[in-house]
Chains A and B, each alone.
Chain A
């Protein structure tokens, strides 16, 4: 069945360090992989996404990489700041005739000053 695994579940880093979150998906037909950031008490918001026709995408301090063969994709945050502290969700599209997004279990990132 549809499944997106996400690791780690929690990640603590010092300000200025890099953070990497990894996800694995099961449907080889998945073609869209967004990452959402959810701050405490707020709604999830898209921070970056990647489609299956590219292997990497970067937007300032965040980047996403996709390995279609291994069905892995990762979020990389460089020069982390305290305001990066949040729960991050990966997701993968699942084609059931109509596409839907299946979310990973989330990673709580804590950036300490």
Chain B
């Protein structure tokens, strides 16, 4: 019944390795996101996909490559991991709403987070 689920919950790896995090949502939302939360708890958007199309790509190193095989899934692959990549990565989804002719971003539903530790 989990709305947004991501795996794995914990990742501990060495510098230079490659790792992937998977995310799935069963809410039927059109838009999915990856957010990074660092040790200071700042929540920073990394990528956003709408119906499998990349729509937001913040200034993220190209070692990070998102992939959306369908609108219910958004995966994140990270190459050549660095110490600074250590963080909690949250997947999220939302559905835009149009009310009285105005388009609003819908509520963000977050996954449980994936804590990545790079040693």
Q: Which residues of A contact B (CB under 8 A)?
A: 31-32, 34, 36, 38, 42-46, 49, 51, 53, 87, 89, 93, 96-103, 105-106, 108
Contacts and interface: CB of A to CB of B under 8 A. Distances in A.
B111 A105 contact: no
A93 to B, nearest CB: 5
Contacts of A102: 45
A99 B105 contact: yes
Contacts of A97: 55
Interface of B: 31, 33, 40-45, 48, 50, 55-56, 90, 96, 99-100, 102-105, 107-108, 110-113
A106 B104 contact: no
21 contacts: A32-B105, A34-B107, A36-B108, A38-B41, A42-B112, A43-B110, A43-B112, A44-B108, A45-B110, A46-B107, A53-B100, A53-B102, A93-B105, A98-B31, A98-B50, A99-B103, A100-B33, A100-B45, A101-B105, A101-B108, A103-B42
Secondary structure of the B contact surface, majority rule: strand
A94 B81 CA distance: 30
A34 B105 CA distance: 10
A44 B99 contact: no
Contacts of B96: 99
